[in-house]
Amino acid sequence: MKNNDRYWDCLDQAMEASHGGRTEEALAWLDEALRAHPEGAEAHNGRGEILWDEGRVDEALHEFERSLSADPKFLTAHLNRAELLVEDLGEFEQAVQLCDELLGGHPELPRLDRSTEGEVYYLKAKAVFYMDDLEGSLFLTRRAVKTAGEIPIYRAFEGQILFELGRYEDAKRALDTAVALDPEAGHALYHLALVLERLADPEASSLAFDRANALDPDHYPLPTEVEETFFRQAVTEAIINLPRSIREYVDDVPILVEDFPSRELLAQESISPQILGLYIGMPRTEAEITAQPLEPTRVILFKRNLEKVCRDRSELLDQIQITVRHEIGHHLGLSEEDMERLGLA
């Protein structure tokens, strides 16, 4: 039998325990709430949020779905489910479908106000971004801003997309706005640092990197900067460490070092500005049966990008080895599975 008073009492206790960091106690109160009202959408959603925070993603998704089964108009569970599909499960197409259903105004689903409509556009934009449709993601993010107003995270994401498109001046404007709206937004500060670096403003870039790192050192570590000679020596050692059966096929492939990919290269190769390495040329498996390539064969390593994904010199040395092997694998025409089997992944 449904006991409303007991149900809401338990929810209040669960919220208090959760805010106090007492996770197990919060879950126990939510279980008690569900004993008072087994189809309580709020309790199932609350369990989902706690399980999600604990990394129990599949269980969290199940709870969000149970919440929506109990109350299809419970908006918070819809948003949680869509975000979880994007951020943790990589189910981007399903997330897009869910967002479209919410935006479609179906009578059995919750009615969106402008704020929540903007949030749904933003979630759809993130899903589309991970599906490599940057222009589509940019359109949806701007739609979110137009719908919900100047939300810092939306402007920051707009700046991130523009950075990925190589439109650095536009990215800076969006990120400047995001930081002005929220000076402690680590995501916006970090991407502003990336943009300022590309716009040749090292002092401002370094300051933005420092600010982002101070806010969240785990998510925004400082770059592991090394001398050019150290980096090139590491590249040489990576080549020497290739299996002997591989080295003889790559003696004629120059391995170049650049700080970043140029804007021209971004447009020509449709790559991310944050790419670690790039193989340009025709794989050996194709060169024997096709005409000579128009461009000289080469591997390019992007020093500043590699420095950003490593926390110390030891990690950087390992990542250089991995990147060299991976790009050489492309030259040999190997699949990802082949590279792993041969120790090139």
pLDDT tens readout for residues 164-176: 999 999 999 999 9
1-5, 159-163, 175-179, 208-212: which range is least confident on average? 1-5
Mean of the pLDDT values across residues 186-201? 97
| Per-residue pLDDT, 6 | 92
Say how far apart CA 48 and CA 326 lie, in whole Å. 39
Asked if pLDDT for residue 290 goes beyond 60, the answer is no
Say how far apart CA 313 and CA 202 lie, in whole Å. 21
Say how far apart CA 280 and CA 292 lie, in whole Å. 13
Burial of 163 (0-12, 13-18, 19+ CB in 10 A): buried
Residue 182 gets the label, from left (phi > 0), alpha (psi -120 to 50) or beta, of beta
Residue 243 gets the label, from left (phi > 0), alpha (psi -120 to 50) or beta, of beta
| Per-residue pLDDT, 113 | 95
pLDDT tens by residue, 322-340: 999 888 888 877 766 766 6
Judge whether 70 and 83 are in contact, CB under 8 Å: no
| Per-residue pLDDT, 283 | 76
What does pLDDT average to over the chain? 92
Pairing mode, strands 255-258 and 298-302: parallel
Asked if pLDDT for residue 289 goes beyond 60, the answer is no
* Spatial CB neighbours of 103, under 8 Å, sequence gap ≥ 6: 112, 117, 120, 121, 124
| Tokens linked to 234 | 């590491």
Domain ranges of the chain: 228-341
* Spatial CB neighbours of 335, under 8 Å, sequence gap ≥ 6: none
Type and span of the H or E element at 199: none
**Residue 253's pLDDT band (cuts 50, 70, 90):** confident
| Tokens linked to 7 | 């149900």
Q: For the domain 228-341, what is the CATH code?
A: 3.30.2010.20
Contacts 24+ apart (CB under 8 A), 79-85: 79/116, 79/119, 79/120, 79/123, 80/45, 80/48, 80/49, 80/52, 82/120, 82/123, 82/127, 83/123, 84/52, 84/57, 84/60, 85/61, 85/127
pLDDT tens by residue, 58-114: 999 999 999 999 999 999 999 999 999 999 999 999 999 999 999 998 889 999 999
**Residue 252's pLDDT band (cuts 50, 70, 90):** confident
| Per-residue pLDDT, 53 | 95
Q: What is the DSSP string of 78-119?
A: HHHHHHHHHHTS--HHHHHHHHHHHHTT-TTSPPP-HHHHHH
Q: Among residues of the chain, what percentage have pLDDT more than 70?
A: 93
| Per-residue pLDDT, 328 | 87
Asked if pLDDT for residue 257 goes beyond 80, the answer is yes
